[in-house]
């Protein structure tokens, strides 16, 4: 039993507490801390951590957080976050992630993040919810931009639809959130379209206006795809007239968008018919306008 993974994780985390409690000189203790975390957690995949008995977190582990985050060591950070994720018997319970989220600001400054550390960060966000990080949207967006991830990297990918919708509808997203995440949101919606309840998501018309004002046409392309997939006319306060202006301007400034949006709508395989007809009408108006322009 003493070689069982759960036993190793419990003992390793206890050792970290003991080391921090008796640590007088960081130069003498940091190696032991890193080694303890490695023994207990390096064999675990942060994306699919081992769920066993919740670990015991003491006041001395708070000092551990200071030491590990300030070191910037990717693997030690991944081990620590994996340990923290194991402390939660369920996603709604309180744990060390809630008390130490201020440290996550450091992560946006690191030059590179290992794949395992990225997985640990994503898992941490999924476990406690991004609102609990309480570092401000600008810092949270900077952290996201420092991650290089795809849909396959998320454990609970459907939960990220709500996260990214909230982030994208913030005032900071238009200028600062990488285009990569706007595309990822489209991918996630296509992946989980049959499981989504459109009434659960709030539509903000200001996003379209902000993107047009900033001339962020590639992001507007993604946003219009999101709107048509989640809030077709009649849902969330959207109307054909409200979407038509944004669509026609997008197609004029970013001609490739019409083909991209048509591809997404075809992938959606709409069963309601609420999207397809109004969408086709706007595309026909755009195509007619381009034809008339070309013949002049």
Mean pLDDT of all residues in 104-131: 83
pLDDT bracket for residue 273 (50, 70, 90): low
Cα–Cα distance for residue pair 119/85, rounded to 1 Å: 12
Name the residue among 190, 175, 98, 185 with its Cα closest to residue 149: 185
Confidence at residue 130, expressed as pLDDT on a 0 to 100 scale:
73
pLDDT tens, 76-95? 999 999 888 877 655 555 66
Q: What is the pLDDT of residues 196-221, one digit of tens each?
A: 776 677 888 899 999 999 999 999 99
Q: Mean pLDDT score of the chain, rounded to an integer?
A: 82
- The whole-number pLDDT of residue 186 equals 95
Q: Is 168 within 8 Å of 223 (Cβ atoms)?
A: yes
- Given a contact cutoff of 8 angstroms between Cβ atoms, the answer to whether 198 and 233 are in contact is no
Query: How confident is residue 25, by pLDDT bands cut at 50, 70 and 90?
Result: low
- Mean pLDDT within 229-249: 85
Question: Which has more confidence, 263 or 45?
Answer: 263
The predicted structure's pLDDT at residue 26 = 61
Evaluate if residue 293 carries a pLDDT over 50: no
Q: Where are the domains of the chain?
A: 1-156, 157-296
Q: What percent of the chain has pLDDT over 70?
A: 84
Does 37 have pLDDT greater than 80?
Answer: yes
Position 133 confidence tier, pLDDT thresholds 50, 70, 90: low
CA distances from 28 to 31, 74, 88, 138 (A): 7, 20, 31, 37
**How many residues belong to the chain?**
296
Instruction: Please give the residue that has the higher pLDDT: either 109 or 229.
Output: 229
Query: Which band of pLDDT confidence, cut at 50, 70 and 90, is reported for residue 292?
Result: very low
**What Cα–Cα distance (Å) separates residue 235 from each residue in 60, 190, 231, 240?**
51, 18, 5, 11
């Amino acid at each position: 039993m003493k070689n069982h993974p759960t036993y190793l994780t419990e003992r390793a985390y206890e050792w970290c507490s003991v080391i921090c409690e008796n640590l007088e000189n960081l130069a003498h203790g940091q190696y032991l801390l890193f080694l303890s975390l490695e023994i207990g957690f390096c064999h675990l995949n942060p994306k699919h951590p081992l769920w066993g008995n919740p670990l015991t977190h003491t006041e001395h582990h708070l000092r551990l957080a200071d030491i590990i985050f300030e070191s910037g060591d990717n693997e030690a950070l991944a081990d620590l976050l994996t340990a923290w994720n194991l402390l939660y018997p369920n996603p709604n319970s309180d744990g060390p992630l809630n008390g130490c989220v201020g440290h996550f600001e450091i992560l946006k400054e690191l030059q590179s993040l290992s794949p395992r550390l990225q997985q640990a960060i994503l898992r941490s966000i999924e476990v406690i919810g991004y609102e609990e990080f309480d570092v401000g949207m600008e810092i949270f967006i900077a952290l996201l931009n420092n991650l290089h991830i795809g849909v396959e990297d998320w454990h609970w990918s459907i939960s990220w639809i709500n996260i990214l919708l909230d982030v994208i509808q913030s005032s900071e997203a238009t200028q600062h959130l990488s285009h990569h995440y706007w595309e990822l949101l489209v991918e996630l919606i296509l992946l989980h379209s049959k499981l989504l309840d459109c009434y659960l998501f709030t539509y903000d018309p200001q996003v379209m206006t902000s993107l047009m004002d900033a001339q962020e046409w590639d992001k507007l392309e993604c946003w219009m795809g999101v709107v048509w997939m989640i809030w077709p006319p009649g849902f969330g306060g959207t109307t054909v007239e409200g979407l038509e202006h944004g669509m026609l301007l997008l197609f004029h400034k970013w001609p490739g968008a019409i083909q991209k949006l048509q591809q997404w709508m075809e992938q959606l395989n709409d069963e309601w018919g609420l999207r397809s007809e109004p969408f086709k009408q706007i595309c026909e108006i755009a195509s007619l306008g381009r034809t008339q322009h070309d013949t002049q």
